[in-house]
Chains A and B, each alone.
Chain A
Amino acid sequence: MNLGQHASFIVAAYVIAIAVVGALVIWVIADSRTQKRMLADLESRGARRAGEREP
């Protein structure tokens, strides 16, 4: 595979794309963990929504 004389532009474009998509994925996973932890913490302290029963 020969990327020619403008290889640096091609590599830079793909590196930026991988970095941005990677950042999005990490943000979604980290946010998911944070929300689940906070919800579990609240529920362990007895917080319940209206209509929900104690387990």
Chain B
Amino acid sequence: MALIDLANPTRFLTLATRVLPWLVGLTLALFAVGLYLTFFVAPDDYQQGAVVKIMFIHVPNAWLSMFVWGVMCVAALGTLVWRHPLADVAAKAAAPIGAAFTFLALATGSLWGRPMWGTYWVWDARLTSVLVLFLMYLGIIALWRTVEDPSRAARAAAILTLVGAINIPIIKFSVDWWNTLHQPASVFRAGGSAIDKSILVPLLVMAVAFTLLFLTLHVAAMRNEILRRRIRTLRLLQARMTNAGARA
């Protein structure tokens, strides 16, 4: 089966039904391994102590907050260039999940910041740009709910998503461009990771687990959205038939 065949909603539904149980199992297994490594294998940080354990959920959620926006950008191109309905479905299904991950990045970061920085929040470039990302997710969700016609909503949301993508490099490089309380990149950076393997491995396992969680939720939410659109189509057809019958 070619990749383009998956772009057919009916084929996607069949594939999703087959793949979802495996994705759920794999996600649960990776979370079990990741949490075991986090709480029973990874040592405390020599400066932060046990508070470093917050990093194992904060960093994956921060990565995913940007990754999900990236997925929405690819879907937005699918909507605007190819006008493919499955791209609309992918973008709409990703937004609430991305918003939840961004909220978690902000909340866990705040709980990490209080004991380390002495404050829950500062209006520095990194924190503020992530807050802006969260508000943009809420804006996209509101837009989807405001416009009744899904294809019109998709085009408007796609343009807003692509315009909003300017915030992603701002988030990524904010710690280099401005003086911030937030530490600079320590995993993916020139010269290799600054984190010891004993902490890096559990962090990467948790990152893969959260990414699989996103994939699982996204496929399931896409399936729901396809069914929602079928229901809408059937209702419109029924209303047309009723109107035609009343006129006859």
The residues of A with any CB-CB pair to B shorter than 8 Å are 1-7, 9-10, 12-14, 16-17, 20-21, 23-25, 27-29, 31-32, 35-36, 38-39, 42-43, 45, 47-50
Contact = CB atoms under 8 A, between A and B. Distances in A.
A10 B51 contact: yes
A14 B60 CA distance: 13
A35 B13 CA distance: 13
B interface SS class: helix
7 contacts: A6-B115, A13-B58, A16-B107, A16-B111, A24-B96, A27-B96, A43-B234
A38 to B, nearest CB: 5
B235 interface: yes
Interface in B96-155: 96-97, 100, 103-104, 107-108, 111-112, 114-115
B46 interface: no
A28 B107 contact: no
A1 B40 contact: yes
Interface of B: 39-40, 44, 49-51, 53-54, 57-58, 61, 96-97, 100, 103-104, 107-108, 111-112, 114-115, 213, 217, 220-221, 223-224, 227-228, 230-231, 233-235, 237-238
B63 to A, nearest CB: 14
A7 B115 CA distance: 10
A20 B104 contact: yes
Given A9-B112, A24-B97, A28-B217, A35 B50 contact: no
A11 B16 CA distance: 35
Contact of B217 (A3, A9, A10, A24): A24
Contact of A31 (B50, B108, B224, B235): B224
A3 B104 contact: no
Contacts of A39: 227, 230-231, 234
A13 B50 contact: no
A13 B107 contact: yes
Contact of B220 (A12, A28, A42): A28
Chain A to chain B: the 7 pairs with minimum beta-carbon distance, closest first: A35-B227, A47-B234, A6-B115, A4-B50, A13-B111, A13-B108, A31-B224
